[in-house]
Amino acid sequence: MTLATGMPAGAPKEGFRLSMLIYDTRFRAITIQVVVLIAFLLLVGWLVDNTIQNLAAKDKNIDFGFLWVRAGYDIEQQLIPYTNDSVHGRAVIIGLLNTLLVAFFGCIFATIIGVLAGVLRLSKNWLVSGLMTIYVETFRNVPLLLWIILVFVVTSETQPQPNAFKITQAMVDSYATEDTSDDIYPEASKMLFGTVALTNRGTYMAAPLLSRPLGGTEVASIPANFSVLATLAVIIGSVLTNRALLRRARLVQEDTGLRPTTWWKSLLILFAPVVLLLVAMGFHLEIPVFPSNEAGVSTGFNFQGGFLVQHSFTALLIALSLYTGAFIAEIVRAGILAISHGQTEAAFALGLRPGRTMNLIVLPQALRVIIPPLISQFLNLTKNTSLGIAVSYLDLRGTLGGITLNQTGRELECMLLMMLTYLIISLLISSLMNVYNNAVKLKER
């Protein structure tokens, strides 16, 4: 009697021999991986030991204590409180938040621009497609750094000075007369119902304030605002509730063939809770204005109230969005062209209009082709925020890899921290996008 392997039933099992690690295919792959891993660890150990010895020869050591030393420099753009008396660690956090702020809005704007440009480039209107082609080729073939500097120069040099918004005594006197034809007005005026002022120093905007805030605390020297956290929690809860509503409507449609009306319910779920919460906390806007005397004449040299958005942030955000959007446009165009033309013809045969066909049939299928290269563009945009140092935007590169590095002389520590931070951010973005990619990919049955 023999076994399924062809060996006699009573045959003794072959014992393990060291030569099997090389000649037996069952163990060879594991052996190679273990050898490569050991060699890599030895190489890393040698590099670390060599670095430590070289630093010791120069009376240096690896020490991150500089993070708790007074920074001594100012950062204009900041999301959490910071002064020049704060420590370098807090300055690094400010720079990290500035990096994440540009990366977050840059990814959103670049995606919107890229999708629109990619779809319009396939338009049958030669003028529209030609303009999109010019946009894509122009931004793709000029270095990003030049675009950042160009946008910064345009935004800072073409805007009026703050005193152009002032109301002088002559203007007040002209307003007092009954003849409005002789009225004198400021050289510049604010936008959006008087809430935004574009100047050569930056963009002054109305600041959201709360009369009855929920307070806050600090965790590891990082302030945690309960009002912001509560607002985010309400928004997330509203979005999840709305998704559940749409999922239920879809199930009803699959069962009965009729889709219940959900648009007004979605609007109510998405906006009513957060509006009620903001009203309960006393939400209002602080408008940037010039201080004035009793006669209404502006005094001082700058706006008071609101908050200032630096031109460096605006220039970096615009340049990154337009530059990355050009690459995303080509990704979107390639994804759409990858969909069989028969899908479009079938939709037209069913009476769907081109816009509905693109939104309901072509783009959902094209996402499976678009998402993987889109991840790379998001990663590139995040890392390219470091070019903001060219226009004095103090992000992670400008703080940790710039002023802090120069003041403390801790080149190795600063570079290691900066590399590790960028690595973690990139891995997080990749993980989130891979989760979404798995959600939209084809499911085999």
| CATH at 69 | 1.10.3720.10
Dihedral pair phi/psi, residue 44, rounded to 5°: -65, -45
Q: What pLDDT digit, counting tens, does each position of 134-148 carry?
A: 999 999 999 999 999
CA distance 238 to 231: 11
Q: Does 299 map to a domain?
A: no
- Report which DSSP code applies to 69: S
* Residues in CB range of 70: below 8 A, 6 or more apart: 84, 85, 86, 87, 88
Contact 22, 32 (CB under 8 A): no
Percent of the chain at pLDDT > 90 equals 40
- State the Rg of the chain over Cα: 30
CA distance 407 to 414: 11
Number of domain units in the chain = 1
Q: Does 12 map to a domain?
A: no
Q: Does 137 map to a domain?
A: yes
CA separation, residue 309 to residues 94, 135, 390 (Å): 15, 27, 17
Q: Does 16 map to a domain?
A: no
CA distance 371 to 23: 43
**Containing domain of residue 370, as a range?**
54-164+309-445
Q: What pLDDT digit, counting tens, does each position of 358-407 carry?
A: 777 888 888 888 888 999 999 999 999 999 999 989 999 999 989 999 99
The label of the residue with tokens 């999708």 reads 115
Q: Does 258 map to a domain?
A: no
CA distance 427 to 195: 39
Contact 186, 167 (CB under 8 A): yes
Contact 286, 194 (CB under 8 A): no
Q: Does 427 map to a domain?
A: yes
The contacts found for 231-237 with CB under 8 angstroms, 24 or more apart, are 231/274, 231/277, 231/278, 234/273, 234/274, 234/277, 235/274, 237/273
Q: Does 396 map to a domain?
A: yes
**Is the pLDDT reported for residue 87 higher than 70?**
yes
Q: Does 113 map to a domain?
A: yes
Q: What pLDDT digit, counting tens, does each position of 199-222 carry?
A: 888 899 998 899 998 888 877 667
Span of 249-258, 291-300, 336-345 with lowest mean pLDDT: 291-300
Please give the angle made by the CA atoms of 323, 191 and 232, to the nearest 5 degrees: 65
